[in-house]
């Protein structure tokens, strides 16, 4: 199979990407098996992974993040474009907003968050968790296409699968969080360890636990999926706009030595 430089990881509600023919690819990794589909998206050969599996069957804390990223890297992927459903912690980012996230506050626990947990230890710089160059490209492309997108946002990543309490929402906002999500960590950090650039498009579905008691926009599963379903054409179009703007051969900053990355990708068990 021909390698592909670009991958799309679909968040909640995005389980299919290709309108035309697509090839199913099973990848066996040291961290479990992964099934991706490869087809053409925005004129680019693209690998697609639904983060929660077909039919939204994998809870956020049970996603095989290392398997997913290892599998994509083994297919030749160099850039990951992801979509995420998020709750808002501020009235400045109301439901229906598209935002390009650029900072993460990781509040997850117990997730395998590195490939370097045996043998050599490598300390990943994470001041800018997403690829800054891809962020700029995505912002310029979306604005040129007439899409109203927020240029930056700090996302708090929680374990899930439950939503936050009102007290937790207030605390997350007081910490500097603007959005809340359950899946961006450790996904983004693992990609960076293997030298893959990431850019994330977040869609605000709700006001998390609600700014005021009884807020009708407070998070619920039915509300989140209803709004995601209605927004799918817009989200996919925005992803296509970004994908079309990423130049072939793009390389993200590589923070881990190449030989260490090769050792990880050479693992069989």
- Cβ-proximal residues to 244 (8 Å cutoff; 6+ apart), any chain: 42, 43, 44, 141
The structure's pTM equals 0.94
Per-residue model confidence as pLDDT tens for the chain (269 residues): 457 999 999 877 676 787 778 899 999 999 999 999 999 999 999 999 998 887 778 999 999 999 999 999 999 999 999 999 999 999 999 999 999 999 999 999 999 999 999 888 999 999 999 999 999 999 999 999 999 999 999 999 999 999 999 999 999 999 999 999 999 999 999 999 999 999 999 999 999 987 654 556 677 888 888 888 898 999 999 999 999 999 999 999 999 999 999 999 998 87
Which residues carry out catalysis? 206, 208
Which domains does the chain carry? 6-265 (3.40.50.1580)
Q: pLDDT, tens digit, for every residue of 203-237?
A: 999 999 876 545 566 778 888 888 888 989 999 99
Q: pLDDT, tens digit, for every residue of 10-46?
A: 877 676 787 778 899 999 999 999 999 999 999 999 9
Give the pLDDT of residue 242: 97
């Amino acid at each position: 199979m021909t390698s592909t430089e670009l991958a799309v990881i679909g968040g909640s509600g995005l389980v299919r990407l290709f309108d035309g023919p697509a090839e199913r690819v099973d990848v066996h990794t040291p961290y479990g098996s992964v099934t991706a589909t490869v087809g053409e998206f925005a004129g680019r050969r693209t690998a697609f992974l639904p983060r929660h599996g077909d039919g939204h069957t994998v809870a956020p804390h049970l996603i095989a993040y290392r398997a997913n990223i290892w599998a994509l890297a083994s297919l030749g992927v160099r850039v990951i474009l992801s979509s995420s459903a998020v709750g808002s912690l501020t009235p400045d980012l109301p439901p229906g907003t598209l935002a390009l996230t650029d900072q993460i506050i990781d509040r997850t626990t117990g997730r395998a968050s590195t490939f370097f947990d045996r043998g050599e230890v490598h300390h990943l710089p994470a001041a800018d968790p997403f690829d800054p160059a891809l962020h700029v490209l995505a912002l310029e492309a979306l604005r040129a296409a007439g899409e109203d997108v927020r240029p930056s946002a700090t996302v708090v990543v929680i374990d899930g699968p439950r939503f936050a309490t009102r007290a937790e929402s207030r605390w997350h906002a007081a910490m500097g969080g603007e959005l809340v999500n359950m899946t961006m960590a450790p996904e983004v950090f693992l990609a960076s360890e293997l030298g893959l650039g990431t850019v994330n498009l977040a869609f605000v579905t709700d006001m998390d636990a609600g700014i005021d008691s009884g807020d009708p926009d407070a998070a619920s599963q039915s509300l989140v999926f209803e709004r995601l379903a209605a927004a799918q054409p817009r989200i996919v179009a925005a992803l296509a706009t970004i994908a079309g703007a990423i130049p072939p051969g793009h390389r993200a900053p590589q923070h881990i030595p190449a030989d260490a990355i090769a050792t990880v990708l050479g693992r069989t068990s």
